[in-house]
Amino acid sequence: MESFPLLQQLLWISLLCSADFYVSGQNCRGREPVIDPPALVVKYGSPATATCRTEYNTTRMSWEATMGASSKENTQQLVWSVDSVTDWSLKDGILWLAIYEYEPCTTHLPITIYKIPENVDLVIHNAGPLVEEHTYWLECEVKSVAPVNNLTVIWFRGDSKLEQSDFTQFNIEGDGDQNVTVRANLSIIASREDNRASYSCAAQLDLENTTDTTSNIV
Ligand X SMILES: *[C@@H]1O[C@H](CO)[C@@H](O)[C@H](O)[C@H]1NC(C)=O
Contact residues: ligand X, CB under 6 A: 37, 39, 41, 56-57, 112, 125, 137, 139, 143-144, 149-150, 171, 173-174, 179-181, 183, 185, 207-209
Name which of 14 and 46 has its Cβ closer to ligand X: 46
Smallest gap, in angstroms, from Cβ of residue 193 to ligand X?
Answer: 23
How far apart (Å, rounded) are the C-alpha atoms in residues 36 and 17? Answer: 30
Cβ neighbours, 10 Å, residue 170? 20
Name which of 8 and 171 has its Cβ closer to ligand X: 171
Name which of 37 and 158 has its Cβ closer to ligand X: 37
Kindly report whether the peptide bond that precedes residue 5 is cis, defined as omega within 30 degrees of 0: no
User: Which amino acid belongs to residue 185?
Assistant: N
Smallest gap, in angstroms, from Cβ of residue 20 to ligand X?
Answer: 26
Closest CA to 26 of 38, 36, 16: 16
Enter the DSSP assignment of 24: T
Name which of 23 and 39 has its Cβ closer to ligand X: 39
Closest CA to 169 of 149, 196, 188, 189: 149
Smallest gap, in angstroms, from Cβ of residue 90 to ligand X?
Answer: 13
Smallest gap, in angstroms, from Cβ of residue 60 to ligand X?
Answer: 14
